[in-house]
Amino acid sequence: MSKIELRLRSRLVRDALSSVLMEAGLTVFHERGGHDDDTIVVMDFEDCKDREFVSAYPSRGIKIVALTSKADSRELEPEEIASLSGILTYDLSVAVFVRSLRLIGSGERVFPRDLAIGWRQQASPPSAKPRSDGVRLSPREREVLSHVVEGHSNKLIARHLDITEATVNVYLRSVLRKIKVENRTQAAIWALANPPELDPAPRGFV
C-alpha cells in the first residue's frame, strides 16, 4: 500500500488525519524525502495551485492529492488540477477518505462526483443526488460493485467470482448505468455513500 505524506499547514488537521490513517493500517510521514512510486502526498489545495511548491516533488510516480472544502472544489477549472491524482473534501467520512486514498494508490483518480460531471458539461437536474433511491442492483451486480470498492481489477474480480472478465465488464457497465455514474472510481464513492448496496464481504476475500 502507498505511503502517505501529509503536507498540511494545520497541525490539528495533520495530527487528526495521521491518527485516522495509521489506525487504518497506512504508513504516514510528514517530512519531504524518501519518495518512491508508492507515495501519495496530501496537501492543502492552496499549495497545489503553487507550481513552485508542487514542482519540489519528483514527478515520477508521485501522486498529489488536494484537501479542500466541497464548496471550494466546485470553483476549480480542469487545467488547475491536471497534475492532481485526486481532490478529497473535508466532508468525507473516515471510511470514504481511506477508501479514496486506496483507490488513488491503485492508480485511480478520485474527484468529487459533481465536479467530474461539471467538467464534462453534463447538466443534471437539481434534484439528482448520488443516492440509492430507486436503484435496484442484482445480487451479482452488488458483488461486482463490492469488489470495485475494494480496488480489485476486473481480472481479479473474474477470478474470484469464477466468471469471465467479459462478463465482469457487462455487470460493471450495468451498475454504472443504473447508478448514473461514469467510471469505477465514481461507482466506488457512490457505493460507500450507500452501504446497503454493498455486500458485507466480497466473496473470495477474507
Quote the pLDDT of residue 158. Answer: 92
CA distances from 196 to 8, 49, 143, 187, 193 (A): 34, 38, 12, 14, 9
Amino acid at 134: G
The DSSP string of 22-82 is HHTT-EEE-SS----TTEEEEEEHHHHT-HHHHHTS--SS-EEEEEE-HHHHTT--GGGGT
Evaluate if pTM is beyond 0.85.
no
Q: What is the pLDDT of residues 80-118, one digit of tens each?
A: 666 778 889 888 888 889 988 988 888 777 877 655 444
Domains and CATH numbers, the chain: 3-119 (3.40.50.2300), 139-197 (1.10.10.10)
Q: What mean pLDDT comes out for the span 179-191?
A: 83
Residue 134 φ/ψ region, left for φ over 0, alpha for ψ in the -120 to 50 degree band, beta for the rest: left
Helix (H, G, I), strand (E, B) or coil at 5: strand
Q: What is the pLDDT of residues 113-146, one digit of tens each?
A: 655 444 433 333 443 344 455 678 888 998 899 8
